[in-house]
Amino acid sequence: MLEDEIRAGESSNIEFKVEIPKKSEKYVKSIVAFANTAGGKLIIGVDDKTRKVVGVDKDEVFNIMDNISNTISDMCYPQIFPNISVDTIQGKSVIVIKIYPGAGRPYYIKSMGKEAGTYIRVSGTSRLADEAILKDLELQGNNSSFDEMVCIGQKYDEKMAEELCSAVKKYRVEAAGTKREKEAVKDVTVQNLVNWGILKSMEGKLVPTNAFVLLTNNIFPFAKIQCALFKGTERVVFIDKKDFEGPLYEQIEGAYEFVLKHINLGAKINGLIRSDRYELPIEAVREAIVNAVTHRNFLDKACVQVAVYDDRVEITSPGMLYGGLTLEQIKEGGSKIRNRCIAEVFSRMKIIESWGTGIKRMFSSCREYGIREPELLEIGDSFRVNLYRPSYSEVHQSSPKGSLKSSPKTVNQTQQKIIEMILEEPRVTQAAMAEKLGVTSRAVKKSIKELNEMGIVERIGSARNGYWKVKEP
């Protein structure tokens, strides 16, 4: 209900005005911003600071509505068609201007021109669109995408095309379930790349699109994934970091492995049999990274970032939600494809299964794991997914005064490898472990002490003549 929306206050799609400003640009820029993003409501007769309903003059309501309609028609280009209505709240009249996401982006204030008059909604305010966002809006309005455009200055390379064809087939073979299905996978041809929009035929010659470059030699400096492991829960102290460049599908694999390397892997030991399970569902980790790459705005001079903290894994993708989508819509499976050619190839490679299902699978996999659902956020002109690590929550909920005690059956990568060495050779020395792991003897000693405290590993006999034993649960 409208009254509930007013109580909730202003947001990315709700704005209040006590009255119509004398300078029309002060509210028309919000009208334009709503049309360029996910739509919204401008409510006249409500104080934006106190949320108090002050109302408008009942005798002037319809005149005000006519003036608003004419002003929007005269000042906005392309034309915006608002839904203007009057509502009564607490016995007072308020005017509600509802704007729908427009298909003719970019919308702008005519008198100011496209560059100076195009606005978007960011964090509850109307902000002037920068160059990258403006170009993205233009592509949306033309029903085209950056990745399907011819890459200026690049020539077709037959060897790179064949390597891409081989990579697509390799992924399809790996995704096939049975031996018969694997054998049935057909070769991918250059003509397939043309059919998918990765290459274009112009005047009898093949030319590469931006998608072809992004999937092969990738000359775009910001089309990479930056990964980092941070100490604690804030972006202050680096522990490990790595940038992944090259073909997009290789970047995804690298970032995925980076996250798995730095989150906990639980080990349940039963004699010689061990079952492993990461603290986060690997499907959710992979989907979040794939989604960030597939739907990012390549016109934005920023990289996809994957940050691992003590309490969460944070995946940030440059670019606002595309095509007027809202967070609520994408949670329900709503999807609009910003990079059609890349999405097409990823679909063929089985990197994505079907459009619009990735976010829902992230949520369902976390529910099945019994952990907190992912958090979806719009951060300025970027989109972020937070996957919360249960190991951090368990420690801080069970430990008095926030003391950091390890989860009793959670081992890190080094400890896991130590367990494997002991199972293979119970008399393995700590020096041999350190050499094989490429770490110091002190680090091995510390890991074994923690494994002993967790009740996973014990020493039988003397330091010289004894052996290690992996305990049964």
Q: Render pLDDT for 264-280 as a digit per residue (tens, 0 to 9).
A: 987 656 555 666 789 99
Q: Specify the pLDDT at position 274.
A: 63
Question: Is the distance from CB of 333 to CB of 291 less than 8 angstroms?
Answer: no
Structure tokens at 103: 């298909």
Q: Does residue 222 or residue 414 have the better pLDDT?
A: 222
Lowest mean pLDDT among 128-137, 245-254, 269-278, 289-298: 269-278
The whole-angstrom separation of Cα 173 and Cα 179 is 9
> How confident is the model over 349-364, as a mean pLDDT?
84
Cis omega (within 30 of 0) for bond into 318: no
Q: Specify the pLDDT at position 466.
A: 86
> How confident is the model over 168-189, as a mean pLDDT?
95
Q: Does residue 149 or residue 269 have the better pLDDT?
A: 149
> How confident is the model over 444-469, as a mean pLDDT?
85
> How confident is the model over 124-132, as a mean pLDDT?
92
The whole-angstrom separation of Cα 392 and Cα 279 is 10
All residues at 6 or more sequence positions from 103 whose CB lies less than 8 Å from its CB, including other chains:
141
pLDDT above 80: residue 25: yes
> How confident is the model over 333-362, as a mean pLDDT?
88
Q: Does residue 468 or residue 54 have the better pLDDT?
A: 54
| DSSP secondary structure letter of residue 235 | S
The whole-angstrom separation of Cα 469 and Cα 458 is 5
Exposure b/e, 52-71, CB count within 10 A at least 16 = b: ebebbeeeebeebbeebeeb
pLDDT tens digits, 99-112: 999 999 999 999 99
Question: Is the distance from CB of 383 to CB of 300 less than 8 angstroms?
Answer: no
Q: Specify the pLDDT at position 230.
A: 93
> How confident is the model over 446-471, as a mean pLDDT?
84
Q: Specify the pLDDT at position 401.
A: 41
Tokens 């998918």 sit on residue: 196
Lowest mean pLDDT among 65-79, 135-149, 222-236, 446-460: 446-460
Residue 113's pLDDT band (boundaries 50, 70, 90)?
A: very high
Q: Specify the pLDDT at position 470.
A: 81
CATH numbers and ranges of domains, the chain: 2-143 (3.30.950.30), 147-214 (no CATH), 225-391 (3.30.565.60), 412-470 (1.10.10.10)
> How confident is the model over 108-122, as a mean pLDDT?
96
> How confident is the model over 229-251, as a mean pLDDT?
93
Q: Specify the pLDDT at position 393.
A: 66
Q: Specify the pLDDT at position 86.
A: 96
* Global pTM value: 0.78
Question: Is the distance from CB of 223 to CB of 233 less than 8 angstroms?
Answer: no
Per the prediction, the chain carries an average pLDDT of 90
pLDDT above 60: residue 204: yes
Q: Specify the pLDDT at position 402.
A: 38
pLDDT tens digits, 368-427: 999 999 999 998 889 999 999 997 866 555 444 433 333 445 667 788 788 878 887 888
pLDDT above 80: residue 473: no
Q: Specify the pLDDT at position 441.
A: 83
All residues at 6 or more sequence positions from 64 whose CB lies less than 8 Å from its CB, including other chains:
20, 44, 56, 57, 95
Kind of pairing, strands 83-89 and 14-17? unpaired
> How confident is the model over 32-55, as a mean pLDDT?
95
Q: Specify the pLDDT at position 432.
A: 87
Q: Residue 83: what residue type?
A: N
Q: Specify the pLDDT at position 404.
A: 36
**Sequence-ordered strand ranges (E) for 309-463:** 312-318, 375-379, 382-388, 410-411, 457-460
pLDDT tens digits, 85-104: 999 999 999 999 999 999 99
